[in-house]
Amino acid sequence: MLKYLLISMGLTLIFTPILIYITMSFRLFDHPSERRINSYPVPTAGGLAIYFAFFITALFQGAENLVPYFVGGTIIIITGLIDDYRGLSAGIKFFGQVVAVAAFLWLNPSSNYIISALWMLSVINIINFIDGLDGLAGGIILIASTSLFTWIYGTSCQNIGGLLLIFIGANVGFLVFNFNPARIFLGDTGAMLIGFLFAALANNSVLTGDIMFNLPILVLILAVPTIDTFCAIVRRLQQGIPIYKADKQHFHHRLLELGLSQRQVALCGYMLTLVSSATALVLVKNNSWNQFIILPVIAVVLLYGAVKIGMIKPLVVKSQRRVL
């Protein structure tokens, strides 16, 4: 199966420079703005390279039951492209995500539609939320996908394992161009696509088993974007603004303001994801229900760190004037 990882990576290495040339020719850039980090126009919608590399390699491999991934992924790509180049309201973009997930689940029956839908929509959005810095979202998904492959390796999920290797290869190839200084961005096109594909592959492998045990483990693997999104929601509720309103107080923004470089912030995100993924795999290997003790402890530690770097304000009881 390793050859398909290499084929996917090779195709992404070929497609991405072509995509950079095309987007530059049509002047389709992600321009600097108040809420963006880039100081010069950068080509966007790089997720198209991952899309073509993934599905071409999967067809070449002869992967089974590829249609749900293709239909859902195509709807996500179209939604992302329109948003990247024309702009969509948060509501319409979310509607596009719902249609993509609904199409996937309709073509790929699930044992629990509600949990599957909530899981997939959540992952699409937490990855899109954290995609604000060169290579950060792509690197986190790369580590998470490798962890998921390690989790299911040797099980009956051979088809999903092959697709995961293809997905891993495509992400490695794209990171060559997306790591700081990025020559192309994922854009909403790519961020939503990699979130969708990871969520779909996880749904069709580990979530077909013991959901009560496996779902918290998946959340632990994605601890960094999960905490970042949770803090964004809390922060905006604290400020009395809509939760979909963008700001510059995300994980990567705060670390940049503390003096870290873009590369250092990305590597910090990778390191935290490696630690959370390793912890998750230890729990899986030992089939340990201690996760329900360990996960709250990890959540408290991460939330404490988020408060310390200014991602959210501490909750204060006015009558006692102390931090909870």
* Phi, psi angle pair for 241, to nearest 5°: -120, 160
Reading the chain (324 residues) residue by residue, the pLDDT tens digits are 789 999 999 999 999 999 999 988 888 887 776 666 766 789 998 999 999 999 999 999 988 899 999 999 999 999 999 999 888 999 999 999 999 999 999 999 877 899 999 999 999 999 999 998 999 999 999 999 999 999 999 787 889 999 999 999 999 999 999 999 999 999 999 999 999 999 999 999 999 888 888 999 999 999 999 999 999 999 988 888 888 888 888 999 999 999 999 999 999 999 999 999 999 999 998 886 677 788 889 999 999 999 999 898 886 544 444 444
* DSSP strand pairing (42-43 vs 29-30): antiparallel
Q: What angle do CA 313, 316, 321 make, to 5 degrees?
A: 135
- Residues with Cβ within 8 Å of 85's Cβ and at least 6 positions away in sequence, in order, are 28, 45
* DSSP annotation string for 134-157: TTHHHHHHHHHHHHHHHHHTTSS-
Q: What are phi and psi of 198, to 5 degrees?
A: -60, -45
What residues form DSSP beta bridges with 42?
30
Could you check whether the bond before residue 41 is cis, i.e. omega within 30 degrees of 0? no
pTM: 0.94
Three-state DSSP state, 30: strand
E strand intervals along the chain? 29-30, 42-43, 316-317, 322-323
Q: Whose CA is closest to 250, among 309, 171, 181?
A: 309
Q: What does the pLDDT read at residue 315?
A: 63
CA-to-CA distance for 2 and 282, rounded, in angstroms?
A: 24
Structure tokens of 39?
């100081």
Q: What is the pLDDT of residue 209?
A: 81
Two structure tokens written together for 130: 């954290």
Going by C-alpha positions, the residue among 51, 105, 94 that lies closest to residue 74 is 51
Instruction: Tell me what pLDDT residue 64 has.
Output: 86
Q: Are strands 316-317 and 322-323 parallel, antiparallel or unpaired?
A: antiparallel
Residue 300, number of CB atoms within 10 A of its CB:
10
Each domain of the chain, given as residue ranges in start order, spans 2-323
Three-state SS at 322: strand
CA distance 54 to 63: 11
